[in-house]
Amino acid sequence: MSEKQMSEKERMNKGLYYNSCDKEILQDRYSTNAKCVEYNSTKPSEEEKRQTIIKSIIKTKGNFFISKNFYIDYGYNITLGNNFYSCFNLTILDENEVYFGDNIFIGPNCSIYTAAHPIDDYKARNASIEYAKPIKLGNNIFIGANVSILPGVNIGNNVIIGAGSIITKNIPDNCIAYGIPCKKIKDINFNLDNIIIELINRMKCENVNLNYEYNISDVDKENERKDIIKKYFKKTGENFRIKQKNLFLNGSHISIGENFYTNYNSIIMDTAEISIGDNFIAGPNLTIVNTTLKKDENNEYKIKDLPIKIGNNVWIGGNVTLIGGTSIGNNCVIGAGSIITKNIPDNCIVVGNHCKILRKFELNKLELNNNDKRSEKEKMLSEDWYNSSDNELRNHRKKIWDFCHKFNYCINLDEREKIIRSIFKKVEKNFFVTPYFNCDYGYNISIGENFYSNFNLILLDVAEIKIGENCFIGPNTSLYTAFHPIEDPESRNRGIEKAKKITIGNNVWLGGNVIVLPGVSIGNNCVIGCGSVVTKDIPDNCVAIGNPCKVFRQIDPSKKVDYKY
């Protein structure tokens, strides 16, 4: 069969350019998305139902265990070998084949992307033209937390992938690899099969009752959710707030102090003690993992469940990962997208993957204008320091969280569209927001015509977020306008914060797992690479990647896609 005779679905599965808005393809995707919503909504007692749902959409060859939440596009392109385990929030864009061998362990918040869009030809991208390359994983593979695997990658047998890695090229057999981009670090000369099987058996202790009870409760029932946390956690202070869509492996190893706050999508894999001090603030997508692989006295890798300790007055930015055996000192600030693999001393700012000290600081009192008679909302919208604990603002956030909760468990497309139009400041025609989605206020968000966002978009719209026309946002991407005082933890603990607007131009593609920080502008026709942390403005017509994100090259308009659109 010639390319011209192929359906769009056939072109997709062959790795050719195809139209992702083809009617047949869209119907397949909507059908699978609905099954994922059903899977993620199941009760703890419905293990048989969960198994049935997975087997109806994915090819399986043996034992498997997939923790919620789980997001895929089609399912029929995915094959699971024997002894497959994935932790919370696995995302698979299976526009092409995704094959897993036997004995696979995947840590929390991992993403596997076969799909890609044209980089230089934004007109083709705007016409929904894309392509996909297969991904294959061999046998006996350990993948740490927050790993992203990009299109066309093969991972060999007997491989360990370090947390926070972005895998852009093939990884050979029998090695440890990590980094951005992920590279082989050293060889290993033993078989991982027994380690992987033991690890899978350990992780099946998930407290499904805690996660179900907490996340299914109504948004406005904050006191009931607090009682659930108190029932399952080892120790809590009296004043704490944990947003919904936070997930815990066990709960009984977690101790939290007074004035504890986590934002959307935190994951705590507590196989050992996790002790968190007073006045703790964490941005969205925090991941804490005790379990790691360490060498023993015989120079052999063994599973270790190592404690984690966090001091007082700590602010952790969005999309941060903490690895077992680490500690964070008092008054520290951890930059967005950081991977914590070593101990952090008191009074410092740390950033990066792997995390390094940016600078140390002395505590310094923030000067506020106590004579300012404006409401806290007016101060917020003026991008001045304001109190986020103000009742007017808290009540509006609760209202929007309720809308988002309804949106995320709704499978009717018309109802979803109505919810988005009811909360956003401005919405042009032809847009699609994929569940799950969360924002803070909504009235600060404007999106242009032909907008698409994939799974788990988070918009902390404390200031204006303005997104132009023909913008595509990959899965697990976050835009954060809000920030807290760095050197004055006392003000931070009282809810004092500030915000700066984010502006995204026309014809922009943000890859998966991208973080955009306050005050950033991204120019027209740009492509931001997967896993980038955008801390500064990005000019027009360029490809930018990295943590921190930097211009990699200019867009080449002569590179046109060889496909009629």
3-state SS record for 340-392: ECCCECCCEEEECCCCEEEEECCCCCCCCCCCCCCCHHHHHHCCCCEECCCHH
Question: Residue 301 class from Cβ within 10 Å (0-12 exposed, 13-18 middle, 19+ buried)?
Answer: middle
Identity (one letter) of the amino acid at 85?
Y
Dihedral sign of CA atoms 112, 117, 475, 511 in order: positive
Tell which residue, 123, 167, 135, has the closest CA to residue 472: 123
β-strand pairing of 90-93 with 59-60: unpaired
Dihedral sign of CA atoms 416, 419, 421, 423 in order: negative
Using an 8 Å Cβ cutoff, are 135 and 149 in contact? yes
Only one residue has tokens 């994929």, namely: 434
Q: pLDDT class for 557, splitting at 50, 70, 90?
A: confident
Using an 8 Å Cβ cutoff, are 393 and 497 in contact? no
Q: What is the largest CA-CA distance in the chain?
A: 76
Assessment of whether the complete model's pTM goes beyond 0.85: yes
DSSP helix/strand/coil, 417: helix
Dihedral sign of CA atoms 503, 505, 507, 508 in order: negative
User: Angle at Cα 200 formed by Cα 197 and Cα 205, nearest 5°?
Assistant: 140
Only one residue has tokens 């792997």, namely: 354
DSSP helix/strand/coil, 339: strand
Residues 185-244: tens digit of each pLDDT:
999 988 899 999 999 988 877 888 888 888 876 666 788 889 999 999 999 998 999 987
Give the span between the Cα atoms of 21 and 23, in whole angstroms: 6
DSSP helix/strand/coil, 242: strand
Q: What CATH number is given for 376-554 in this structure?
A: 2.160.10.10
Q: pLDDT class for 2, splitting at 50, 70, 90?
A: confident
* Structure-block tokens of residue 529: 């690479």
In 419-439, which positions are buried (b, 16+ CB within 10 angstroms) versus exposed (e)?
A: bbeebbeebeeebebbbbbbb
Task: Give the CATH number of domain 3-203; options: 3.40.190.10, 2.160.10.10, 1.10.3720.10, 3.40.47.10.
Answer: 2.160.10.10
Q: Could you confirm whether 354 is annotated as catalytic?
A: no
Using an 8 Å Cβ cutoff, are 281 and 314 in contact? yes
Question: Beta partners for 452?
Answer: 432, 472
Q: Assign a CATH topology to domain 209-360.
A: UDP N-Acetylglucosamine Acyltransferase; domain 1 (2.160.10)
pLDDT of residue 132: 97
- Cα dihedral value 112, 117, 119, 120, nearest 10: 170
Give the span between the Cα atoms of 502 and 242, in whole angstroms: 26
Residues 508-547: tens digit of each pLDDT:
999 999 999 999 999 999 999 999 999 999 999 999 999 9
For the chain, give every residue range classified as CATH 2.160.10.10.
3-203, 209-360, 376-554
Residues 92-109: tens digit of each pLDDT:
999 999 999 999 999 999
Residues 229-258: tens digit of each pLDDT:
999 999 999 899 998 789 999 999 999 999
Give the span between the Cα atoms of 421 and 401, in whole angstroms: 15
Give the span between the Cα atoms of 288 and 457, in whole angstroms: 21
Using an 8 Å Cβ cutoff, are 368 and 496 in contact? yes
State the DSSP string of 163-192.
Answer: TT-EE-S-B-SSEEEETTTTEEEEE--S--
Give the span between the Cα atoms of 185 and 174, in whole angstroms: 11
Using an 8 Å Cβ cutoff, are 533 and 545 in contact? no
Only one residue has tokens 């076969």, namely: 114
* 389 CB-near residues (< 8 Å, 6+ apart): 494, 495
Q: pLDDT class for 409, splitting at 50, 70, 90?
A: confident
Dihedral sign of CA atoms 403, 408, 410, 413 in order: positive
* 199 CB-near residues (< 8 Å, 6+ apart): 85, 105, 142, 291, 303
Residues 432-489: tens digit of each pLDDT:
999 899 999 999 999 999 999 999 999 999 999 999 999 999 999 999 999 999 999 9
ω before 435 within 30° of 0 (cis)? no
Residues 267-306: tens digit of each pLDDT:
999 999 999 999 999 999 999 999 988 887 777 788 999 9
Q: pLDDT class for 1, splitting at 50, 70, 90?
A: low
Catalytic residue among 117, 253, 405, 484: 484
Identity (one letter) of the amino acid at 440?
D
Identity (one letter) of the amino acid at 518?
P
